[in-house]
Structure 1
Amino acid sequence: MNKPRHAPQIHFPVVDDVLQVGGIPLNRLAQRVGRTPFFAYDRDLCTQRVRDLRAQLPQGVLLHYSIKANPMPALVHHMAGLVDGLDVASGGELKTALDAGMAPARISFAGPAKQEDELAQAVAAGVCVNVESERELIALARIGDAFGIAPRIALRVNPDFELKSSGMKMGGGAKPFGIDAEEVPRVLRLAGTLNVDFQGFHIFAGSQSLRADAIIDAQARSIALALRLAEAAPVPVRQVNIGGGFGIPYFPGEERLDVAPIAARLAPEVESLTAALPQARLALELGRYLVGECGVYVARVVDRKVSRGEVFLVTDGGMHHHLAASGNLGQVIRKNYPVAVGNRMAAVDSGPASVTGPLCTPLDILADRMELAHAQVGDLVVVFQSGAYGPTASPGAFLGHPAPLEVLV
């Protein structure tokens, strides 16, 4: 087995110069899929990721998968058998979660603009709705009365802090997400007058952090906030979801998140929570951390061009399928995801090249002047770290090209 030279962050093996995904050589996998471009997700890597994380977390901590990271039905079905719950953010994702066989009681539904039909769908299914506003709470109670059901709810809390150094800050300051922490006691009093089944709190401070100290701080503050708010709860708190925040490395120089100190510091926090709220279970909600490094995006080289001394590998895939890898419609400083020529992983002959797509825009770049194996027409370019926020987070209809295929192997 050869060690891959071009993408040091990858978890996929290389045999005889060819990348293996799900134990299948890349060129054979491309034939099996039928055409390029495609996303391929390795089920064994997803399974191992969950197992490794569970082995480090304190006993009793619930692990939820956030479907928005990757809602491919086959992948969600696989993850449903590995985790304790699924978190959804739309009626469409709720259907996917229910179809995956997850028990409704283990599904939670968040999102700041839930429509009446989505709320009715959630109540009828029996999932827990993370209430984002007083309007939602009243609407849920009204829908529940019409169905003769006490809707299962948790209050999504906008804390008075944020996850430091996170790629996406979801809490702290003025936010459209959740109920401001200082307003929660008043909303809890209102909930106590309604026919709802109060479960607990959902506190999401941010995501995509690679700093253990920042995550430790956010978790401790989230649990402390939940304990304080629980004093005003109409019934004993049964669940506290503190989000996750765990990030994955995408760019050169980024270090993989060290979970060990996070897990070690979380253990006494769980003990404190259990002592104060004996009926409560603590949940971590993770998306990209569980699946992001378990997937690849594969595009085929359709042309090799040299323009004023620079090499361009023009492929049939691009930003319309994988917006994040292209730089999200123009980062101020664009950074390359790990990229390699997947059927030439051990090639000695290499040089700087840019990987571009079929779109008529200079933003359609998958790799900008990277050191890559000398590729020819027909070779397969692989973008790693592509298991999360791929096709559903990209402008798939842009310029009318076909959608990518997705496979779980």
Structure 2
Amino acid sequence: MSESAPASNKPVHAPMAQFPVQQGELIVGGQRLSVLAERVGQTPFYAYDRGLLKARVAQLRAALPAAVKLHYAMKANPMPALVGLMAGLVDGIDVASAGELKVALDAGADPAEISFAGPAKRAVELRQSVAAGVLVNVESERELPLLAEASQALGLPARVALRVNPDFELKGSGMKMGGGPKQFGIDAEVLPEVMARIGRMAGDGLAFEGFHLFAGSQNLKAESICEAQQKSYELALRLAADAPAPVRFLNLGGGFGIPYFPGETPLELAPIGANLQALVERAARELPQASLVIELGRYLVGEAGVYVARVLDRKISRGQVYLVTDGGLHHHLSASGNFGQVIRKNYPAMLSQTRGETAREAASVVGPLCTPLDLLADRMELTAAQPGDLAVIYQSGAYGASASPQAFLGHGGCPEILV
């Protein structure tokens, strides 16, 4: 459970019921957190629960049409062991660099079901993609001759889809990835000309497969996601009329959010499943060769992870309690509020301890860095803590270790475990 203040008129965090708590101690992967800390040999660390990862994929499979392929966007969490697990659960992996491509291939992902997106792909990365046989989501005309050159040099087809910058945004998304001027994708209005160029380059090894649309991320409103999917499908259908070959791949993006902050509630999947079923039925008639793909990262892994730091000191400054830990923004930038929050809000948090403490108090959980930004929880109501207790930040399975400045101030890296 989260431990935000329970004032009657104040928003609270959604319950963190995915992790049991037994006698005040968090259970992750069926193991007591204190034991996991001994197994790791140090704090801080990240822990990801295999059972929760499998359950989330099963939940999606049950809610979405079977015809919709489920891809994992591994930028959310590229830990190799986790990617290996996910590769066996989902239908494909989406990568954003040659480094991620190597992890995905090493994890056993099928190259035919790997797609590569990113606005600044280097020539060597495009060549690697052709050599590996993965699908490249082209984001600029600059990439086309480079792909053709690689295709001719290697004697292999360059599989391409066009990443579309649509003329709409995903309403209510935490991060807008399409609509208006963007560095991502090719503006929808110029795509007919780009597709004509691809058609002229077919003899150079370019193999057109379809479209990739990603309007935004971290959305908790099912109606907004459904609207974006409908608009994305309609746009792809219009573009298909000028495509140099039948559409075989249609990535409708993702945007599924998880509740991080007080007042937020979990995303309702049923309306999204019904909406996708309607689109599947339309595609069977209108784009009969196309596979519909949903690309998810945070939604698949975010709720299955925790960040764990040890309380080193308990100090009171002018009446405010500070729990000083060995973890902080250098390991978990997003929880500190410095990964895109406009107004800083607390992630759900708790104190895991074996002392059976029941008293509660308002406390701030801070780290070891010499900056006031090193704040993991700001005046939250938590179980009263002492040095040695373990501070837990929930919703930490996505954009954690790999999205944080771990070299900052030289405190060292943060281990990750999959249990």
Same fold judged by TM-score > 0.5? yes
Per-residue CA deviations over 1:127-155 (Å, capped at 9, x if unaligned) read 00000111101210111111111111101
**Counterpart-to-counterpart distance in 2, 1:332 and 1:128:** 35
In the TM superposition, residue 5 of structure 1 has moved relative to its aligned partner by 5.8
Please list the CA deviations of residues 270-317 of structure 1 after superposition, one character each: whole Å capped at 9, or x if unmatched. 111121111101000000000000000000001110111111000000
Give the CA deviation at 1:329.
6.8
**Is residue 297 from structure 1 mapped to residue 304 from structure 2 by the alignment?**
no
Report the counterpart of residue 167 of structure 2 in structure 1.
160
Pair 1:408-2:402 in alignment = no
Structure 1 segments (4+ residues) deviating >4 Å: 3-7, 329-332
What is the match of residue 126 of structure 1? 133
- TM-score by structure 2 length? 0.95
Q: Does residue 326 of structure 1 match 2:336? A: yes
* Secondary structure of 2:37 counterpart: helix
Q: Which moved more, 1:322-331 or 1:84-93?
A: 322-331
- 1:76-116 CA-to-partner distances (Å, cap 9, x unmatched) read 00000000000000000000000010111110000000001
For 2:173 and 2:62, the matched residues in 1 are separated by 25
Residue identity matched to 1:383 = I
Taking the TM superposition and a 5 Å limit, the aligned residue runs for 1:165-204 are 165-194=172-201, 195-204=205-214
Shift of 1:395: 1.2
Q: Relative to structure 1, is the Cα distance of residues 75 and 190 closer, same or farther in structure 2, using a 3 angstrom cutoff?
A: same
Does residue 41 (structure 1) correspond to residue 48 (structure 2)? The answer is yes
Quote the residue 2:256 is aligned against. Answer: 246
TM value normalised by structure 1? 0.97
> Which residue of 94, 101, 112 maps to 1:94?
101
Q: What is the count of residue pairs matched by the alignment?
A: 407
The residue number in structure 1 matching 2:327 is 317
Aligned to 1:386: 396
CA change 1:218–1:344 in 2 (3 A) is farther
Q: Is the 8 A contact 2:3 2:349 kept in 1?
A: no
* 1:134 counterpart SS class: coil
User: More deviation in 23-32 or 270-279?
Assistant: 270-279
CA distance in 2, matches of 1:49, 1:150: 35
Deviations for 1:129-188, whole angstroms, at most 9, x for unmatched residues?
Answer: 000111101210111111111111101010000100100100000111111111111111
State whether residues 315 and 355 of structure 1, in contact with CA within 8 Å, keep that contact through their aligned partners in structure 2.
yes
Correspondence 1:230 to 2:230: no
Alpha-carbon distance between aligned partners in 2 of 1:239 and 1:318, rounded to the nearest angstrom? 41
Q: Does the C-alpha gap of structure 1 residues 330 and 246 become closer, same or farther in structure 2, counting only changes over 3 Å? A: closer
Query: Over residues 351-404 of structure 1, what are the superposed CA-to-partner deviations in whole Å (9 max), with x where a residue is unaligned?
Result: 011000000001100000011111111110000000000011111111111111
Determine if the alignment matches structure 1 residue 66 to structure 2 residue 76.
no
Whole-angstrom CA distance in 2 between matches of 1:365 and 1:225: 43
Q: Superposed, which structure 2 residues align to 1:9-88 within 5 Å?
A: 9-88=16-95
Contact 1:10 1:384 (8 Å CA) reproduced: no
Check whether the contact 2:334–2:340 (CA below 8 A) recurs between aligned residues.
Answer: no
CA contact (8 A) 1:345 1:373 kept: no
1:4: how far off?
7.0
Stretches of structure 2 lacking an aligned partner (at least 5 in a row): 5-12
Instruction: Confirm or deny: 8 A CA contact 1:330 1:363 kept in the other structure.
Output: no
Aligned to 1:361: 371
Distance of aligned partners of 1:104 and 1:254 in 2 relative to their CA distance in 1, 3 Å threshold: same
The 2-side partners of 1:346 and 1:330 are apart by 36
Among 286, 301, 307, which residue is 1:276 paired with? 286
Q: 1:210 to 1:330 in 2, by over 3 A?
A: closer
**CA deviation vs aligned residue, 1:176-228 (integer Å, no higher than 9, x gap):** 11111111111111111222111110011111101111001000000011111
Structure 1 pair 5/310, CA: closer, same or farther in 2 (3 Å)?
Answer: closer
The range that moved more, 340-349 or 247-256, is: 340-349
Higher alpha-carbon deviation: 342-351 or 200-209: 342-351
Q: Name the SS for the 1:119 alignment partner.
A: helix
**In 1, are the aligned partners of 2:311 and 2:390 still within 8 Å (CA)?**
yes
Cα separation, partners in 2 of 1:345 and 1:237, compared to 1, 3 Å: farther
SS at match of 2:175: coil
Consecutive unaligned residues of structure 1, counting only runs of 5 or more, are none
Asked if the contact 2:3–2:381 (Cα under 8 Å) also holds between the matched residues in 1, the reply is no
What SS does structure 2 have at the residue aligned with 1:55? helix
Question: Mean Cα displacement is larger for which, 79-88 or 225-234?
Answer: 225-234
Taking a change above 3 Å as real, the CA distance of residues 53 and 113 of structure 1, as seen in their structure-2 partners, is same
* 8 Å contact from structure 1 (residues 89, 109) kept in 2: yes
- Name the structure 2 match of 1:255: 265
RMSD value over aligned CA atoms? 1.4
| Matched residue SS, 2:210 | strand
